[in-house]
């Protein structure tokens, strides 16, 4: 008696093929959608200029850092750090809360405030072109290097604050040379 081979019918093979495609599509779409939800926002691009200004203490100097060009940045996501301890604040000559190196720390958040007062830098919720922050390094300002950082979430806690989020980027560094 001859042995007959039987193949799977075309209908069953089509159903199996469709099932495999559906399962692969679902698996790939879950992976892609999950990957998309973890993408972080891009750090802003900024260009700044720095200049010496008179500080509030003993005839020393503070540094005025002006956003010259670039993206608007959320101030609650920004902080500064220097080659020496520093304090961030308002204009030394006309602010009720000027930058003062007596309150210096290694890291200062842009939204630094005492009590229920508004942030000392006085620029609002965003840092926009033309706006200036003031930084008073501990001791002499000559030769200080000041870096501005952005973090993917708000800087948490009280001053000096702790950067939060998965990513932190150094946006720019201002190197202050010897004043004349």
The string of pLDDT tens digits covering residues 20-66 is 999 999 888 887 776 655 555 688 999 999 999 888 776 788 899 99
Q: Give yes or no: residues 77 and 155 share one domain.
A: yes
Residues 32, 51 within the same domain: no
Among 17-21, 96-100, 108-112, 140-144, whose mean pLDDT is lowest? 96-100
Percent of the chain with pLDDT over 70: 88
Q: Is there a domain that residue 1 lies in?
A: no
With respect to residue 2, please indicate whether it lies within any of the assigned structural domains: no
- Structural tokens at position 89: 């604040």
81: helix, coil or strand?
Answer: strand
Q: What is the rounded CA–CA span in Å between residue 174 and residue 65?
A: 8
Domain identity same for 23 and 86? no
Residue whose pair of structure tokens reads 């010259």 in the numeric block: 68
Has residue 3 been placed in a domain? no
Question: In sequence order, which residues have a C-beta less than 8 Å from that of residue 58 and are 6 or more positions away?
Answer: none
Same domain, 61 and 15: no
pLDDT at position 180: 47
Average pLDDT over every residue of 96-121: 82
Whether residues 23 and 59 share a domain: the answer is: no
Considering the domain architecture, whether residues 96 and 171 belong to the same structural domain is answered as yes
Domain identity same for 50 and 30: no
Q: Do residues 15 and 101 both lie within one domain?
A: no
* Residue 180 located in a structural domain: no
Domain assignment of residue 123, yes or no: yes
91 with 71, same domain: the answer is yes
What's the mean pLDDT when you consider all of the chain? 83
27 and 51 assigned to the same domain: no
Residue 160 structural domain: 46-175
For residues 111 and 162, state if they share a domain: yes
**Number of folded domains that form the chain:** 2
State the pTM of this model. Answer: 0.73
Query: For the chain, percent helix, then strand, then coil, each to nearest 5?
Result: 20, 35, 45
Q: What pLDDT sits at residue 49?
A: 92
User: Residue 40: what pLDDT?
Assistant: 55
């Amino acid at each position: 008696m001859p042995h007959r081979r039987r193949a799977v019918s075309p209908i069953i093979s089509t159903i199996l093929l469709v099932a495999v495609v559906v399962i692969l599509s679902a698996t790939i779409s879950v992976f892609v959608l999950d990957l998309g939800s973890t993408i972080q926002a891009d750090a802003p691009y900024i260009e700044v200029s720095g200049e010496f200004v008179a500080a509030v203490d003993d005839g020393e100097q503070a540094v005025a850092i002006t956003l010259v060009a670039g993206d608007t940045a959320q101030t609650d996501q920004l902080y500064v750090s220097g080659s020496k301890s520093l304090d961030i604040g308002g204009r030394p000559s006309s602010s009720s809360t000027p930058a003062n190196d007596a309150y210096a720390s290694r890291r200062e958040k842009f939204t630094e405030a005492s009590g229920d007062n508004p942030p000392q830098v006085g620029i609002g919720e965003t840092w926009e072109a033309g706006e200036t922050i003031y930084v008073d390094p501990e001791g002499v300002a000559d030769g200080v290097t000041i870096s501005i950082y952005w973090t993917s979430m708000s800087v948490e806690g009280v001053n000096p604050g702790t950067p939060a989020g998965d990513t932190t980027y150094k946006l720019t560094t201002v190197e202050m040379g010897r004043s004349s």
